[in-house]
Structure 1
Amino acid sequence: MNYADMFRLEGQVALVVGGGSGIGQASAEALAAHGARVVVADARLEAARQTAGRVQAAGGEAEAVELDILDGAAVRARVEETVGRHGRLDTAVTTPSINVRKPLLEYTDEEFERVVMLNLKGTFHVLAEAGRAMARQGSGSLIAFSSIRSLVVEPGQGVYAATKAGTVQMVRALAAELGPRGVRANAIGPGVIDTPLTAPIKNQPDWYAAYGAKSVFGRWGKPEEVAGAVVFLASRASSYVTGTILFVDGGWTAVDGRFNPPL
């Protein structure tokens, strides 16, 4: 075992869905920095192009494509196109999510369907289509984004939390089903990370400060602090890791309560 090369990704092809901003952008840049050829996919083509440009400016290999993960046929076509162009697909990362923060009893059917369709069904489309391609080639790493909300909740997070818990269970099922064919499936559970999804909280100082204080580091996380987990799960360093969720949450899920007792 050459431990120095365990995290290197030369010769690999990675599809990063949601790569136009936030954690997806940082993931694309980190994978490319470790040697992967990255296909940056996003519903906003211009955002994907900007990320691909950042990768190329740093000396990496990347291309930008448009992709709406709510369109299962489009996801299938994009995966097939990637494999056709590059001959393989080694890693698939899916990050897109939305949240409607309101009490469950106030949710409308339209809001429920919008959150569930993108967070759960859209994630399913990516995992299923990439999983099929990887199963055919006999190797690959599926990486889905869950959340601390898969484990802990607060008022207003019920539907979002349900989708994130569901993502973990899909990953576990895929790990069981595809493991014999050489494919790994894992989830990452970020804590509070400064991204476009959490931007509304930043505009409310008390809320923003309270979330930062819940971390044992007393601050929010950055997208690049999550990207390392993506590289790990894409690399040979995690060759015996499957069916699990890796929390990157600054200790949020480890620390009980909101009060430090006098000791």
Structure 2
Amino acid sequence: MGYQDIFRLDGQVALVVGGGSGIGQASAEALAAQGATVVVADLKAEAAAQTAGRIESGGGTAEAHVINLTETKAVKALIADVVQRYGRLDVAVTTPSINVRKPVLNYTEEEFDRVVSVNLKGTFNLLTEAGRVMAEQGSGSLIAFSSIRSLVVEPGQAVYAMTKAGTVQLIRGLAVELGPKGVRANAIGPGVIDTPLTAPIKNQPDWYKAYAERSILRRWGKPEEVGGVVAFLASRAASYITGTIVFVDGGWTAIDGRFTPPL
């Protein structure tokens, strides 16, 4: 294995769900930059097409699809279409999640079901369907998005945090079961990343600043800083990494407290 080539993904086919914006878009572009053919799937057709267009304008190969991860039949159909067209699936990335920020005692049943359906069922749908294909072909990399909330929780995020911890355990289970068949499974745990989904926080200066100062690096992360980790986990450079979570959080989960004592 030559070190100059181990990050390359030439000849590989990658599916990125949630690739229309934010971290998903950065992930799709990072995979394409390393030579992968990228299938960009998103709930919004225009967003998926825009990302695919950005990749192709940069010299990469991509196509766009519309998908709702909570629709099991639709996920099966998308995976089947990818395999029929390209003959394989080497990388599957799932990024979509939703968060209803409110005290857990105030959660409605509908809100609970909605968060769990997208964050857990949707993730399960993609990983298991892609995992079947990869197990049969004897290779592949499954990448799911968890969060710092899988470890630490703040008021109003109990249900979201529950789903993110569940995602990590699902990844570990898949790693255990599919590893002997040549398939790796890993999670990524972003901290606060500057994306369209976090715009409501950015619009509140005190909240935005508090989050920035909570990390060791004293700033928010950028989508491309997460996309690079996706490309790494997909590559041969990560060939001995499976069943774990990689935190991309500026040290959020390493530092204790918000007060620096006099030393």
Task: Determine the C-alpha separation between the residues in 2 that align with 1:189 and 1:250.
Answer: 11
Counterpart residue type for residue 253 of structure 1 = T
Counterpart residue type for residue 219 of structure 1 = R
Residue 155 of structure 1: how far off its partner (Å):
0.5
Show the counterpart of 1:176. 176
Please give the secondary structure, in 1, of the residue aligned with 2:123.
helix
Task: Determine the C-alpha separation between the residues in 2 that align with 1:141 and 1:131.
Answer: 9
Q: Deviations over 1:138-162 (max 9, x none)?
A: 1000000000000000100100000
Partners of 1:98 and 1:197 within 8 A in 2: no
Please give the secondary structure, in 2, of the residue aligned with 1:99.
coil
Task: Determine the C-alpha separation between the residues in 1 that align with 2:100 and 2:196.
Answer: 14
Task: Determine the C-alpha separation between the residues in 2 that align with 1:196 and 1:167.
Answer: 23
What CA RMSD, in Å, does the superposition of the two structures yield over aligned residues?
0.6
Unaligned runs of at least 5 residues, structure 2: none
Show the counterpart of 1:112. 112
Please give the secondary structure, in 2, of the residue aligned with 1:3.
coil
Query: Could you tell me the TM-score, scaled by structure 2's length?
Result: 0.99
Task: Determine the C-alpha separation between the residues in 1 that align with 2:222 and 2:262.
Answer: 31
Task: Determine the C-alpha separation between the residues in 2 that align with 1:200 and 1:128.
Answer: 33
Unaligned runs of at least 5 residues, structure 1: none
Task: Determine the C-alpha separation between the residues in 1 that align with 2:123 and 2:171.
Answer: 10
Show the counterpart of 1:43. 43
Residue 196 of structure 1: how far off its partner (Å):
2.4
Aligned residue runs from structure 1 range 30-69, under 5 A: 30-69=30-69
Residue 197 of structure 1: how far off its partner (Å):
2.3
The count of residues paired between Structure 1 and Structure 2 equals 263
Task: Determine the C-alpha separation between the residues in 1 that align with 2:191 and 2:162.
Answer: 16
Task: Determine the C-alpha separation between the residues in 2 that align with 1:83 and 1:199.
Answer: 36
Task: Determine the C-alpha separation between the residues in 1 that align with 2:92 and 2:63.
Answer: 15
Displaced runs of 4+ in structure 1, greater than 3 A?
A: none
Task: Determine the C-alpha separation between the residues in 2 that align with 1:95 and 1:39.
Answer: 14
Counterpart residue type for residue 220 of structure 1 = W
Aligned residue runs from structure 1 range 82-121, under 5 A: 82-121=82-121
Task: Determine the C-alpha separation between the residues in 2 that align with 1:112 and 1:261.
Answer: 40
Show the counterpart of 1:230. 230
Residue 217 of structure 1: how far off its partner (Å):
1.3
